[in-house]
Amino acid sequence: MHEIQKAVPGARRWAGLLVFCGILVALIVIWLVKPFGSALEAWVTRDPEEIGSRLRLAFAAVALAVAAPVLGLAGYFWRVGARIIGAEQFPAPGTLVMRDTLVLRGAPARRRGRLMQLVAVFLVAAAFGLTVVLWQLVSLLDSRVS
């Protein structure tokens, strides 16, 4: 007989609320930052000799703002994968589930844990890749401006 971990009542509501709050925070940040676009453009182009360094600084801020949440998610996936591997159980003990879930133990659970850690590695690579692409874009724009 297979072991089933029962769904936690209200878990879907909490997950939906978390997603809604994340979207709301992102929209508020965009709304608050939008009026500063023209001021940022004026700051970057004010001194022709400083355009390259100011452009690099602006793009570094954008890269950090985009990569930081992705790296945070990667850290979460890595930790959850490590918990699954350590417990040799999926879902890991103490994990809240939104629907009744078949509990895996042993090798299948370890595979799931390693898969979560692999996703974490891909997320780190994506954040790094985005940073490299933005850096290349800055270099391209800097060479055009100079």
| Structural domain count, the chain | 1
What pTM was estimated for this model as a whole? 0.80
Q: Whole domain around residue 54: which residue ranges?
A: 4-145
Condensed to tens digits (0 to 9), the pLDDT of residues 34-93 reads 888 888 778 877 887 777 788 888 888 888 888 999 999 999 999 999 999 999 999 999
Q: What are the tokens at 73?
A: 């998610």
Task: Please measure the distance between the N-terminal and C-terminal CA atoms of the chain and give it in whole angstroms.
Answer: 71
Residues 6+ apart with CB under 8 A from 73: 123
Using CA atoms in the order 90, 91, 92, 97, what is the torsion angle rounded to 10 degrees? 180
Q: Distance (Å, rounded) from C-alpha 64 to C-alpha 71?
A: 10
